Structure 1
Amino acid sequence: GQPEVKLGILPGYGGMQRLPRLAGPGNAASMCANGEPVDGHEAVAIGLADEFCPSAVALPRAVRLAQEVLSGKIRLARRDWDAIAAAQAEDLRRLFASKEVEELLAAPEPDAGNAGDLRAARRNAAREALQALRYGYERGFGAGLANDARAFGKVTASPAGQEWVRRFLDKDPRQSSFLALLPPPEDP
């Protein structure tokens, strides 16, 4: 998942560009709007992980894979992020045609007067995340990364972003409350 939404901010470091291309726009939107994690089995099923390993063997398996990559035994494929996005165009269209996404996109930005409203802060973060996702698909991966950074700064500097980051640092239990803004995506 992308827990940043629980702070009323966006996923950082290009999360709105890489995640949807790996897991699909619908899965990414749900993860970014709701902030809930996926387990290992689901991560494999949606394309975020190549394999699932029980915790008892995960570290040795990861070390072995890293050694194989470093030795050249395994070659990692480079991804063409824009080609992946182009192949997901119909998924993106379907996502943005959904009633739930349309409602999130129409949500107003919280102001200083309602910065402490958890639902408003999360809706704002989800709206900005969805807009960032669409921006990257429409303008390309590189432009999407630059836009992610701009959007992250905008939301984090907003009254709601500042309020909920402060609450996180103060260990306010409300910041981690579950609040579903989007349902899980349906299989096409």
Structure 2
Amino acid sequence: MTRFQDHDIVELRHGDSLIRVAPQFGGRLLSWDIGAEPVIYWPDQADWSQLARVRGGNPLLFPFLGRHRVDGRLGEWRDSADVVRHMPMHGFARDLPFAATVDADGRGIRMTLTDTEETREAYPFAFRFEACYRLVDDQTLEVSLTTANTGTQPLPSYPGHHFYFALPHEMRAHTTLELPATDRRHQLDDGAITAPVPGEPSYTLDE
């Protein structure tokens, strides 16, 4: 562990690449630097008492990303048994500690979150959610998110993450993100999800 902004974190290096990760703070990737150049931004004066409000790093969003609503009421979702439950925006994972194991070569970290009595109040399912970060080389960071159903009933989930790239605002319209084939949907005011439409192969970062 390394001390960073008065908190214990994990630092991983490979060549010129350095990533900082805080497993006990939602498994959050804090920053990624290549030499002196930041790729993923983390503010110098981050408020660690309210990390959900910090615009930096890469918060992990599980079991659902985005806002949820039932009959227009934000912060609720309806499960398959027709029970309405509370769910914070972007889920609860970003506020919980993850168990962590660093790869033997010091270039990757595997972080895991499992269900507890607390999580089952909002999300009554048995699960294992795993986030892995690995420096493949000094220019490439590999990220994988894996959800496992450890129970017997169907597991609804659509996790995600939220990179804060260190990119000047005026460059956003001229910078593209390439994606594999995807579908796009959005949520209606009553909580329903629209039918899928084909996504684009790339988006500019001002979209």
Q: Classify the TM-score, shorter chain.
A: under 0.3
TM-score for the superposition, normalised by structure 2: 0.24
